[in-house]
Amino acid sequence: AQSVAQPEDQVNVAEGNPLTVKCTYSVSGNPYLFWYVQYPNRGLQFLLKYITGDNLVKGSYGFEAEFNKSQTSFHLKKPSALVSDSALYFCAVKTPGNTPLVFGKGTRLSVIA
């Protein structure tokens, strides 16, 4: 069975500093990996995904993530955090075929001015 771990419930970072939100996964086979963001009282918004190819993927709002197969990780990064980046971030994984998208428990990012 596939699973996702987001080891940090909360990440605090100062505005302008780089940020990292961690994600590790467990699947049988090749993973499709996703990051989503949820602002208060809103639905999830897609940020970026890794399907195949270049291990470094770039997404919306200046976010990027690096697929590391040996460490089974897909950490989300941004070089310079904004206060408006404060939100709940979800990592998710699925495998090819009619399999469900499995979400991590979410990491709350707080960017302090």
Q: Which residues bind other proteins (CB under 8 A)?
A: 32, 34, 36, 38, 41-46, 49, 51, 88, 90, 94, 96-103, 105-106
> Quick one: 30 or 80, whose CB is closer to other proteins?
30
CB of 104 closer than 8 Å to CB of 75: no
Report, in Å, the least distance between residue 112 CB and other proteins.
21
User: Of all residues in the chain, what percent are helix, strand and coil, respectively (each to 5)?
Assistant: 5, 50, 45
> Quick one: 43 or 113, whose CB is closer to other proteins?
43
> Quick one: 5 or 44, whose CB is closer to other proteins?
44
Task: Tell me the CA distances in angstroms from 56 to 38, 53, 63, 72, 77, one per residue in order.
Answer: 22, 9, 11, 14, 10
Beta bridge partners, 96, equal: none
Report, in Å, the least distance between residue 83 CB and other proteins.
21
Report, in Å, the least distance between residue 57 CB and other proteins.
12
Amino acid found at 50: Y
